[in-house]
Chain A
Amino acid sequence: MQSLPPAFADLAPFLSTWGTLETQEQRYLARQHMRFAELRAFYDRMAPRIREILTHLDRFPVDQPLPAPEEALYRLALGLTEAAAAVEVYGMAEVPFVPKPHVVTTTWSDGTR
């Protein structure tokens, strides 16, 4: 059972949706299969707190794994990137007229040597 840092415990209901998703591909797919009202409800709770969430996470070094509660919180924050696209840009869950499921794989590379 995932938990969140105490200051953010009220966001726990969203963990079942976003807490297990590890990649942008998974989050994008999850968004496509959610109703807009669900995304909107998540957005309405998360958006006012995102700066506070990131300030909390920024106390931890970015090049090391986060403690489990902070990792769960970060996954909620990443879920917001998808919910915000739906709410702030499109007013609907998916990108208009994109056939579902739309699978896009994202891979990050850091070539700094």
Chain B
Amino acid sequence: MEQNLRSALTEFDIGFGPLVPDEDIIKTGRVPVDNYLSVDRFEQEAEIFRHVWLNVGLDSEVPHPGDWIVRDIEAAKASLLIVRGQNDVIRAFHNVCSHRALKLVWGERGCDKQFVCPYHAWSYGTDGSLRGIPDRQSFPDVDPATSGLTPVSIETWKGLIFVNLDRNPRQTLKAFLGGVADILEHTPLDKFRHSARLTGIVRSNWKAGLDAASEGYHVGALHRDSAKEMVCSKSNPYVHFKSIDFFGPHRRTSNTGNPEYRLSDQKPVHKLIFESVPQVTVAGSDRSLSFAGPGINTTQAEDWSNDQFSIFPNFVLNLALNGFWSMHYWPISVDSFRWEAHYHFAKAATSWSERFALEGSVALNRDISSEDTACTQHQQLAMASGARPFLQFGVYELLCRHEAAVWEAIIKRRTAAPLAKTANSRGSR
């Protein structure tokens, strides 16, 4: 564990120069409760969301020319329109009309050849270009060539769509992902093109949500009715990670499941669901699509269940036996966030019974995540009481320590040299 704590102090860079995770947090595991309560701190975190790469969607959500999705990044007060153009290029724009700065597209997804503003019917192509201004002669000063939708930097990699709201991103996506990209490059992430996206609002600080996804310690207690029997084993009852790695601001653990878990005849519907389609979370039985390959399950654990990548700032990616699932924690305010989960399956249902099982699988996973979000809502209320000055993370909650220590370093740097100033000195504002 000493070695792990030392590794956790590895330098990282999110585009503002090299930083070292806060040593006190890494070593003691103590994180001030105020980090989850302070509006000022929340706003500083939200500012960082405007300058780093964020995973906002999947290539497979916009498979055909004209397909579009709208994604909100509440921390940046941004609504993004992500669209696959007629030439197959996926672009991202601020979802804002050039005329009166109105939210352009009010739906969530669709397929169109053009976008027409509901207010005065200005229209745009799927490449963002301004196509039509009704009563054109009333706008003599508008040059359509420079009045298209405001573009947002976008990179699609391994089927994942990332955006960066900085007008001049400080890093390429590959540089930002660093060692995480080197490992994921060899995985079949992009082969799982059938997915369910779940989203809901949670009344707690977004970091409390992320914390709950960052350790297995809570599974035996909080998930006693649901996931415990799948995850907690005799040899690893507290779900200690088998290995942990740090890649700049990102991190990864390799985790075990319960090899003695059997589908119970006492739960016939549950059993039918699990037997009908490969399960993409921890309880799989068909290993033919396993992510276990180069760079994954590096300890070669027999009871391996998943490798979890926690990608800064809010993206958790779990590579498991038969697929993968991901979760996002989108800050809204100091005490609310939007929880988002994706369950990725290798193929669409080929029968109604498979469709039933996919729906059932997602419902069961949703309930397990709801146990976490219910918990963090109670945590938020209790933290606000001021009864405790700090949270105490254990050594196997090292992902939580690292996350807090990375943020501590960023916020300290920002307090010393505000971002706007840094940006000016680079001439990017």
Q: Do A and B interact? A: yes
Question: A55, A60, A88, A110: which contacts B348 (Cβ < 8 A)?
Answer: A110
Question: Complex: how many Å from CA A104 to CA B199?
Answer: 5
| Mask of B184-225 contacts with A, CB within 8 angstroms, 1/0 | 000000000111111111010000000000000000000001
Q: How large is the interface on A (under 10, 10 to 19, 20 to 34, 35 or more residues)?
A: 35 or more
Q: How large is the interface on B (under 10, 10 to 19, 20 to 34, 35 or more residues)?
A: 35 or more
Q: Please report which residues of chain B, range 266-303, place their CB below 8 angstroms from some CB of chain A when the two chains form the complex.
A: 266-270, 272-273
- B108 contacts across to A, CB distance below 8 A: 107
Instruction: Tell me whether A24 and B362 are in contact in the complex, defined as CB-CB below 8 angstroms, given that A88-B267, A90-B225, A109-B60 are known contacts.
Output: yes
Q: Does A54 contact B (CB under 8 A)?
A: yes
Question: A62, A95, A107: which contacts B367 (Cβ < 8 A)?
Answer: A95
Number of CB contacts from chain A to chain B under 8 A: 145
Q: Does B74 contact A (CB under 8 A)?
A: no
Tell me, rounded to whole Å, the shortest Cβ–Cβ distance linking B62 to chain A.
Answer: 8
| Mask of A75-113 contacts with B, CB within 8 angstroms, 1/0 | 001101110110011110001111100111111111111
Tell me, rounded to whole Å, the shortest Cβ–Cβ distance linking B55 to chain A.
Answer: 15
Q: Does A18 contact B (CB under 8 A)?
A: no
Task: State whether B63 touches A106 (Cβ < 8 A).
Answer: no
Task: State whether A50 touches B61 (Cβ < 8 A).
Answer: no
Q: Does B391 contact A (CB under 8 A)?
A: no
Task: State whether A74 touches B352 (Cβ < 8 A).
Answer: yes
Question: Complex: how many Å from CA A62 to CA B356?
Answer: 11
Q: Nearest A residue to B355 by beta-carbon distance?
A: A62
Question: Complex: how many Å from CA A95 to CA B371?
Answer: 7
Q: Does B64 contact A (CB under 8 A)?
A: yes
Question: A57, A85, A106, A113: which contacts B353 (Cβ < 8 A)?
Answer: A57
Instruction: Tell me whether A99 and B377 are in contact in the complex, defined as CB-CB below 8 angstroms, given that A111-B61, A112-B194 are known contacts.
Output: yes
Instruction: Tell me whether A104 and B200 are in contact in the complex, defined as CB-CB below 8 angstroms, given that A47-B269, A89-B225 are known contacts.
Output: yes
Question: A89, A104, A107: which contacts B364 (Cβ < 8 A)?
Answer: A89
Question: A47, A50, A85, A107: which contacts B363 (Cβ < 8 A)?
Answer: A85
Tell me, rounded to whole Å, the shortest Cβ–Cβ distance linking A101 to chain B.
Answer: 10
- A112 contacts across to B, CB distance below 8 A: 60, 63, 193-194, 347-348
Task: State whether B63 touches A113 (Cβ < 8 A).
Answer: yes
Question: A62, A88, A105: which contacts B199 (Cβ < 8 A)?
Answer: A105
Question: Complex: how many Å from CA A102 to CA B201?
Answer: 9
Question: A84, A99, A111: which contacts B374 (Cβ < 8 A)?
Answer: A99
- B13 contacts across to A, CB distance below 8 A: none
| Mask of A47-80 contacts with B, CB within 8 angstroms, 1/0 | 1001100110110101000100000001001101
Tell me, rounded to whole Å, the shortest Cβ–Cβ distance linking A26 to chain B.
Answer: 12
Task: State whether A109 touches B194 (Cβ < 8 A).
Answer: yes
Q: Nearest B residue to A48 by beta-carbon distance?
A: B268
Task: State whether B226 touches A89 (Cβ < 8 A).
Answer: yes
- B226 contacts across to A, CB distance below 8 A: 89-90
Q: Nearest B residue to A31 by beta-carbon distance?
A: B363
Tell me, rounded to whole Å, the shortest Cβ–Cβ distance linking B422 to chain A.
Answer: 38
Q: Nearest A residue to B352 by beta-carbon distance?
A: A57
Tell me, rounded to whole Å, the shortest Cβ–Cβ distance linking A60 to chain B.
Answer: 7
Q: Please report which residues of chain B, range 51-83, place their CB below 8 angstroms from some CB of chain A when the two chains form the complex.
A: 58-61, 63-64
Tell me, rounded to whole Å, the shortest Cβ–Cβ distance linking A63 to chain B.
Answer: 9
- B59 contacts across to A, CB distance below 8 A: 111
Question: Complex: how many Å from CA A82 to CA B359?
Answer: 10
Question: Complex: how many Å from CA A95 to CA B349?
Answer: 27
Question: Complex: how many Å from CA A109 to CA B377?
Answer: 30
Task: State whether A102 touches B348 (Cβ < 8 A).
Answer: no
- A110 contacts across to B, CB distance below 8 A: 60, 63, 193-194, 348
Instruction: Tell me whether A84 and B270 are in contact in the complex, defined as CB-CB below 8 angstroms, given that A95-B367, A96-B374, A106-B198 are known contacts.
Output: yes
Tell me, rounded to whole Å, the shortest Cβ–Cβ distance linking A67 to chain B.
Answer: 12
Question: Complex: how many Å from CA A106 to CA B384?
Answer: 31
Task: State whether A106 touches B362 (Cβ < 8 A).
Answer: yes
Task: State whether A109 touches B195 (Cβ < 8 A).
Answer: yes
Q: Nearest B residue to A98 by beta-carbon distance?
A: B374
Question: Complex: how many Å from CA A95 to CA B108?
Answer: 28
- A54 contacts across to B, CB distance below 8 A: 352-353, 356
Question: B60, B267, B272: which contacts A51 (Cβ < 8 A)?
Answer: B272
Question: Complex: how many Å from CA A103 to CA B415?
Answer: 38
Q: Which 5 A-B pairs have the closest CB atoms?
A: A111-B60, A84-B269, A111-B193, A57-B352, A54-B353
A50-B269, A81-B269, A109-B196 given. 14 additional CB < 8 A pairs?
A50-B272, A74-B352, A80-B360, A81-B356, A84-B270, A90-B225, A95-B370, A97-B375, A97-B378, A107-B196, A109-B58, A111-B159, A111-B193, A112-B347
Mark B residues whose CB is within 8 Å of A.
Answer: 58-61, 63-64, 108-109, 159, 193-201, 203, 225-226, 266-270, 272-273, 347-356, 359-360, 362-364, 366-367, 370-371, 373-375, 377-378
8 contacts between A and B (CB under 8 A): A50-B272, A62-B351, A77-B356, A97-B378, A103-B201, A106-B197, A111-B195, A112-B60
